[in-house]
Amino acid sequence: MLTAMSTPHPDTSEVKGYALLSYLHGLQSQPRTWAAVLEALAPDDRRFFEEPVFANQWYPRRHLHALLDALEVAARGSEAEFRRLGERAAEFQIHKIYRIFLGFATPAMVFRRASSILSRQSSSGEFAVLEEADDHLVGELFDLEVPPRLPLVIAGWSDRVVQMLRRRPNPTTVTQLARGRYRFLVSWT
């Protein structure tokens, strides 16, 4: 049996339960994938994810590392699976009632708001919108301990949000600029 990292990741940051729940909901909505992720988790991490996660509680971010490492094993490295997880997380995070307001918003407004929410969902990391135009925006994430596949999850989240804004997304591109620094080109037609 392949398992993800068996020792905890050294990341000392914390993540809010709500963020974890959005990823858990996305994974648990696919029973085979969730079973494979559970199997790939180290025993301590598996026990953590078999217990309730509470939205307003802070948790060590090493559990998010473990979850994404296990998805990497379960998905055999498929980038598409991480993007799909981001899409499902966006569905979870942006409730139907908020979708009404998306009809009046621009992508830049939504992404600027999302960047302010990041600081309330993770104890490390910053996201900023650097450039905006009628058909694209450029954002940048800086987080030295970001889980390696999280930028792909963010790309999937971005594409789904653009769809919710009634635009047709081009697949978001992610470029690693340096350790912990990623640039996102989110574009649409």
Predicted confidence (pLDDT) per residue in 18-46, tens digit: 999 999 999 999 999 999 999 999 999 99
Position with higher pLDDT, 96 vs 145: 145
Check pLDDT > 70 for residue 85. yes
Identify whether 94 is part of a domain: no
pLDDT at position 96, please? 61
Same domain, 113 and 58: no
SS3 readout for the chain:
CCCCCCCCCCCCCEEEHHHHHHHHHHHHCCHHHHHHHHHHCCHHHHHHHHCCCCCCCEEECHHHHHHHHHHHHHCCCCHHHHHHHHHHHHHHHCCHHHHHHHCCCCHHHHHHHHHHHHHHHECCCEEEEEEECCCEEEEEEECCCCCCCHHHHHHHHHHHHHHHCCCCEEEEEEEEEECCEEEEEEEEC
Whose tokens are 């055999």? That residue is: 76
- Residue 147 belongs to what domain range? 101-188
Same domain, 184 and 110: yes
Same domain, 73 and 121: no
Could you tell me if 186 and 169 are in contact, meaning their C-beta atoms sit under 8 angstroms apart?
yes
* Domain CATH number, residue 152: 3.30.1380.20
Mean pLDDT, residues 62-70 taken together: 95
Position with higher pLDDT, 131 vs 93: 131
Same domain, 67 and 143: no
Position with higher pLDDT, 153 vs 123: 153
Same domain, 159 and 110: yes
Task: Give the Cβ contact number of residue 122 at 10 Å.
Answer: 22
pTM of the model: 0.89
pLDDT at position 7, please? 46
Identify whether 91 is part of a domain: no
Q: Count the domains in the chain.
A: 2
What does residue 176 show for φ and ψ, rounded to 5 degrees?
A: -80, 120
Same domain, 109 and 140: yes
Could you tell me if 124 and 150 are in contact, meaning their C-beta atoms sit under 8 angstroms apart?
no
